[in-house]
Amino acid sequence: MIFGIMGAMPDEVDQLCAKLDGVTKETYAGVEYHCGTLHGRQVVVCCAGMGKANAAATTQVLITRYGAERIIFSGIAGNMTSKIGIGDVCVGRTVVYHDAQDDMICQSAPFLKEYSGDPALVDAALAACEACGVKAIAGKIATGDLFVGDAETKRAIEEKCHPDGVEIEGAAVSQIAARCGVPCVILRAMSDNADESGYEVLVVKKFSITEYVRTATAIVAKMIESL
């Protein structure tokens, strides 16, 4: 079994890459792929880059070129629910686009308007969160090609799809994985509340996400160990 593990930014995968044994690296189509083992399992870890196009392209490469049979996307997101708080985790039981014409997208494979996280991977992620002492829910994650950092945009997304978290890559990863028949799960540690305060902290002040990523890294490592 080969696990493909992705993040959107270097900070989201660097800690995980440091945990790998027997690493080889290859740069392909502008992305560096780290192949090695984690808890004795074969993994390929990469930083896809931000946005839906980068996420989709890298997912396809992981599957086609590196033979990934399970896809895990790990990173941060804006919180859209009162059920969890900053530093807690949303595991994508359902992943949707908040900025797409769904009735057009679903006319081609995999013919879906929304994407389901693989049940076994979702359960493994929740169990890993519990083992790591991290509060987590299995919920809905919404994806779109913009950073949500104002109350008006947040409210519009809430009205459209009622998600628990909002980010920039998950649905694209899930769509390509579903098209290829590869089980997939999206994990997101909440870094901000998807409003003006989040924009100020993450963008204007260029806040380090290291602490939040540490949470996600520990969860992914525990998942791989258990699967």
Q: Which of 88, 167, 192, 195 is catalytic?
A: 192
102 included as an active-site residue: no
Q: Which of 11, 12, 32, 130 is catalytic?
A: 12
Question: Could you report how far apart the first and last alpha carbons of the chain are, in Å?
Answer: 10
Cα separation, 104 vs 90, in Å, equals 28
Token pair listed for 87: 């530093």
Query: Which amino acid does the sequence have at 149?
Result: G
Listing DSSP states for 164-203 in one string gives SEEESSHHHHHHHHHHHT--EEEEEEEEE-SSHHHHIIII
Q: Which CATH code is given to the segment(s) 2-226? A: 3.40.50.1580
Taking only the tens of pLDDT, the chain with its 227 residues reads 999 999 888 877 888 899 999 999 999 999 999 999 999 999 999 999 999 999 999 999 999 999 999 999 998 888 999 999 888 899 999 999 999 999 999 999 999 999 999 999 999 999 999 999 999 999 999 999 988 878 888 899 999 999 999 999 999 999 999 999 999 999 998 877 776 665 555 554 454 567 677 778 889 999 999 99
Q: State the pTM of this model.
A: 0.91
Cα separation, 47 vs 31, in Å, equals 7
69 included as an active-site residue: no
Q: Give the closest residue to 80 by CA, choosing from 6, 20, 139.
A: 139
